[in-house]
Amino acid sequence: MFDSLTGKFASAFSALRNRGRIGSGDIDEMCGEIRKALLDADVALAVAESFVAKVNERAQAALPELRQSTNQSQAIFAIVNEELISILGGTARRIRLAKNPPTVIMLAGLQGSGKTTLAGKLAHYFKSQGDTPLLVAADLQRPNAVNQLSVVATNAKVPVFAPEVGNGVGDPIKVARDGVAFAREKFHNIVIVDTAGRLGVDIELMNEAKAIRDAINPDEIIFVVDSMIGQDAVRTAQAFLDGVGFDGVALTKLDGDAKGGAALSIAQLTARPIMFVSTGEKLQDFDLFYPDRMASRILGMGDIQSLAEQAKRAFDGDTAAKLEAKFAEGDDFTLEDFLEQMQAMKKMGSMSKLLGMLPGANSGAMKKQLENFDEGEIVRTQAIVQSMTPTERREPKILNGSRRLRIANGSGRSVKEVNSLVDRFSAAQKMMKTMRNGGSIPGLPAGMANSISAQQSAGLRKPLSKNLPKNLPNNLPNKKKSRSGNPAKRAQE
Amino acid sequence: MSLFKKLFAKISRNDISTLDLLELESLLIEADLGAGVAKKIIENSKSRKNEDFLDSVKRTLSESLSNKSREISYDSEKPTVILIVGVNGTGKTTSAAKLANYLKNENRKVMIAAADTFRAAAVAQIQTWGERLGIPVVFGNDGADPAAVAFDAAKRSITEKFDYLIIDTAGRLHTKDNLMAELEKVKRVVEKIIPVNEVLFVLDGTTGQNGLAQAQIFNESVGVTGLIVTKLDGSAKGGIAIATEAALDLPIKFIGTGETLTDFARFESVKYLEDLTSL
Ligand SMILES: Nc1nc2c(ncn2[C@@H]2O[C@H](COP(=O)(O)OP(=O)(O)OP(=O)(O)O)[C@@H](O)[C@H]2O)c(=O)[nH]1
Ligand SMILES: [Mg+2]
């Protein structure tokens, strides 16, 4: 999502690096670049400016030490990263469970922001945590919104409370209240109330939202916002904050290429944490939000920690351990591994999501390639890999023309498809290697990757410490203590 | 519609100081015109030294708008086919219904094709609109091939002599090549029997800078002929629509200003510019 921001940070940093010795003017210049990048990313003007001012101030103050440092851009990078994390909301927070169940979660937001889809995903997520969620259809406004939630509920195998057909008929306040009562009666420990989309300026509808809130006294009100939203994000967020109030934010449609900056500035301006991200149209396309990870994602570092955790969730223990070992030990990732893990990968939603978290995957061409890696492709890929000999799977380099033709015939796919798989695989393999060796990741100056990889890999058992630079300023973000790989446990942290 | 009301109220007509220019830049950015466009407008306005400053800002804006027609074509011989496209949740289905209502009020015979066979309850949603409007909605099974549904509707619209066929399609992110290919197929298949005259890209007025990338890729993929800008009843200024029209030469044809059928109007650039000047 942060492609261009990543690119611009990278070019700003490499400009600095090439200069060797940083002057005060260089920092101003870089800050100008960052401002432009943030605005192009739809970060609210006020937030962008305060961000840039803070970075500038800190970098200027650190100038004497920076000059001593052998790796100046890295030191500045640390400042930017830190400030970015603070824009993104400081520390993550999870859903607070009510002392006396049910925990009531109310969704609110603009029309078309993705509330109904998110409701289904939340239900699906809680259900996979062993909870017993109930969905409540209190959007009685949009034609067939009730219907849509019911379908979503069926897909998530979660019950839905939908006494009204909607389409402009029925009282959403009553539905919400009855829904919570129903949940209490039937011992559902979590209730998710979907509400109609409304504009911040619509006082009447905002009052209705307030009335729903007062009727059900939610433990969490989540403001659902489209990551494509522009500068209006802060006005709208403020209107919802004043109108109905909210405790957290969910960011949707993050699978697109919108930078999402404006939505992120909501966290800064409203002091409410972003809690969830929605990354696709399927139920599984959902994740908790990690500010630190998002910051590294902005900076083009990929999301190694999420990757490892998702892998853990989907693979059985052995496979996960093996994958982790591969990351850490530096064994080559072969087509054989690829095939072995493919079945497991299907479990965790789309492949592109997984691969998208790899470092470098955010940069232009690579991302595009990954995004279009659809489920059908997994099946086709499987057919192709299965037509290879074990040696070929381990060493795709030996795949000459006649071998490829044989594989194409054997798998019923075209040679072009075989070629494309091999190319894609090589790219992925190269990325894995790069990441492991701490070499330069596309879009970032060499060396910079390491400090972040080391922090990011705290969740892996073996930090890539051999390349950790020695001259990092001590104001680097603190190394996170290892988080539980189990999202349920993490949710309670 | 008073996109720059705030802006013009704030800027004095006389001497334009650097501070005013910075403020103007901020207002343009906050209206979602984008940092690059804002800078260009300011430079351009500065360069027109002998002109009233406000006039030069207006002129710069009006000159950037498209000269293409904002009309929806009509053909007395055969149905005019309108494809409604855009990313998820921008207001395609609502706009399809509003447009159908608009054309019906011009005494045209309108048919709708429910070619969003993907999203939960999407077919039911447009059917509900169809019932309210008394307009036939052609649909397939859930999960049916959207191209097949559109083709079927196209055939029927020809034999049953409809004036317009409006095809509602599923929301899709412009970054998903496979879904864009699916959309191209819908158009291609319909064009086997009848040309698709209009491809209207529905742009959510609250969208930020990503709107341009969206429109650009949809345009490359299915040849957009115009924009519908929705949700202008909110606090968003919709500047990205202006930036998109200017950058891609795609005329804004309609605007959506609410959730009911009548919250819909032709985009009047003259009126729009009048709005700008009437302060
Ligand atoms: N306030 C306001 N709401 C609108 C406008 N146009 C559409 N909406 C609302 O936006 C939401 C989404 O509209 P839809 O027409 O379902 O959007 P869509 O693009 O068809 O959505 P998908 O098919 O799911 O991609 C609904 O709640 C509409 O009522 C508008 O001009 N103003
Ligand atoms: Mg729709």
Instruction: List the single residue in A167, A230, A259 with the smallest CB-CB distance to B206.
Output: A230
The arrangement of secondary structure in A103-298, i.e. its CATH architecture, is 3-Layer(aba) Sandwich (3.40)
Same domain? B39 vs B145: no
For residue B152, is it within any domain?
Answer: yes
Atom of ligand 1 nearest to the CA of B205: 31
Question: In the prediction, which pLDDT does A306 show?
Answer: 47
Same domain? B132 vs B269: yes
Same domain? B30 vs B105: no
CB contact under 8 Å between B206 and A229, yes or no, is: yes
B87/B237: higher pLDDT: B87
Provide the CATH number for the domain around residue B180: 3.40.50.300
pLDDT of A489 strictly over 50 = no
The string of DSSP letters for B176-207 reads: -HHHHHHHHHHHHHHHTTS-EEEEEEEEETTB
How many structural domains is chain B composed of?
2
Query: Is A112's C-beta closer than 6 angstroms to any atom of ligand 1?
Result: yes
CA distance A26 to A432: 34
Give the pLDDT band of residue A21 (cuts 50, 70, 90). Answer: low
Give the pLDDT band of residue A410 (cuts 50, 70, 90). Answer: confident
CB contact under 8 Å between B234 and A155, yes or no, is: no
Size of interface A-B (CB pairs under 8 A): 150
Give the pLDDT band of residue A146 (cuts 50, 70, 90). Answer: very high
Decide if B130 touches A, using CB distance below 8 A.
no
Query: Which of B218, B259, B260 has the most A C-beta neighbours within 10 Å, making it the best mutation to test the interface with A?
Result: B259
A475/A345: higher pLDDT: A345
Predicted structure pTM score: 0.75
Same domain? B11 vs B112: no
CA distance A244 to B23: 31
The arrangement of secondary structure in A3-87, i.e. its CATH architecture, is Up-down Bundle (1.20)
Tens of pLDDT, residues B41-89: 888 877 766 667 777 777 888 888 999 999 999 999 999 999 999 999 9
In this structure, are residues A268 and A38 in contact, taking their beta carbons and an 8 Å threshold? no
Question: In the prediction, which pLDDT does B269 show?
Answer: 78
For residue A271, the CA-to-ligand 1 centroid distance in Å is: 29
Decide if A229 touches B, using CB distance below 8 A.
yes
Tens of pLDDT, residues A175-184: 999 999 999 9
CB contact under 8 Å between B173 and A144, yes or no, is: no
Mean pLDDT of chain A: 74
Tens of pLDDT, residues B124-180: 899 999 999 999 999 997 678 999 999 999 999 999 999 999 999 999 999 888 899
Contacts of B88 (CB under 8 A, 6+ apart): A112, A114, A253, A281, B171, B172, B173
Same domain? B47 vs B116: no
Question: In the prediction, which pLDDT does A389 show?
Answer: 83
A224/A338: higher pLDDT: A224
Tens of pLDDT, residues A346-389: 544 444 454 555 544 444 554 555 455 455 666 777 788 888 88
Which ligand does the CA of B114 lie closest to? 2
Question: In the prediction, which pLDDT does A82 show?
Answer: 81
Query: Is B171's C-beta closer than 6 angstroms to any atom of ligand 1?
Result: yes
Q: Where are the alpha helices (DSSP H) in B12-116?
A: 18-30, 35-47, 53-64, 92-104
Q: Which token pair is B29?
A: 């950015």
For residue B73, is it within any domain?
Answer: no
Same domain? B30 vs B85: no
Question: In the prediction, which pLDDT does A208 show?
Answer: 95
Query: Is B233's C-beta closer than 6 angstroms to any atom of ligand 1?
Result: yes
Question: Which of A75-89, A246-260, A401-415 bottoms out in mean pLDDT, i.e. has the lowest?
Answer: A75-89
Instruction: List the single residue in A147, A229, A255 with the smallest CB-CB distance to B124.
Output: A147
Question: In the prediction, which pLDDT does B51 show?
Answer: 64
**A32, B75, B130, B164, B239 from B108: Cα distances, Å:** 54, 11, 15, 7, 33
Query: Which of A43, A226, A367 has the most B C-beta neighbours within 10 Å, making it the best mutation to test the interface with B?
Result: A226
**E strand or H helix that includes residue A226:** strand A220-226
Query: Is B128's C-beta closer than 6 angstroms to any atom of ligand 1?
Result: no
Q: Are strands B80-85 and B137-138 parallel, antiparallel or unpaired?
A: unpaired
Q: Nearest residue of A to residue B212 by CA position?
A: A258
Residues 29-88 of A with CB under 8 A from B: 36, 39-42, 45
Burial of residue B48, with CB atoms counted within 10 A of its CB: 0-12 exposed, 13-18 middle, 19 or more buried: middle
Q: Which token pair is A363?
A: 């940069």
Domain interval for residue B54: 5-64
CA distance A336 to A386: 9
For residue A157, the CA-to-ligand 2 centroid distance in Å is: 24
Query: Is B121's C-beta closer than 6 angstroms to any atom of ligand 1?
Result: no
Average pLDDT over residues A206-232: 95
Decide if A301 touches B, using CB distance below 8 A.
no
CA distance B96 to B109: 14
Query: Is B258's C-beta closer than 6 angstroms to any atom of ligand 1?
Result: yes
Same domain? B161 vs B261: yes
Question: In the prediction, which pLDDT does B225 show?
Answer: 97
Same domain? B57 vs B87: no
pLDDT of A198 strictly over 90 = yes
The sheet that has B226-230: what strands, in order across it? B137-138, B110-115, B164-169, B80-85, B196-204, B226-230, B252-256, B264-266
Sketch the domain layout of chain A as residue ranges. 3-87, 103-298, 304-492
Same domain? B60 vs B87: no
Same domain? B58 vs B87: no
pLDDT of B11 strictly over 90 = no
Question: In the prediction, which pLDDT does A168 show?
Answer: 83
Same domain? B36 vs B147: no
What percentage of chain A exceeds 70 in pLDDT? 62
CB contact under 8 Å between A230 and B208, yes or no, is: yes
Instruction: List the single residue in B91, B213, B234 with the smallest CB-CB distance to A232.
Output: B234
Residue B266 phi/psi, 5-degree rounding, is: -65, 145
Tens of pLDDT, residues A257-301: 777 777 668 888 888 989 999 988 899 999 888 777 666 655 544
Instruction: List the single residue in A114, A230, A372 with the smallest CB-CB distance to B178.
Output: A372
Specify the CATH number for A304-492; select among 1.10.260.30, 3.40.50.1220, 3.40.50.720, 3.40.630.10: 1.10.260.30
With CA atoms as reference, report the closest residue to A291 among A143, A155, A87, A431.
A87
Same domain? B55 vs B133: no
Tens of pLDDT, residues B252-265: 999 999 999 999 99
A404/A106: higher pLDDT: A106
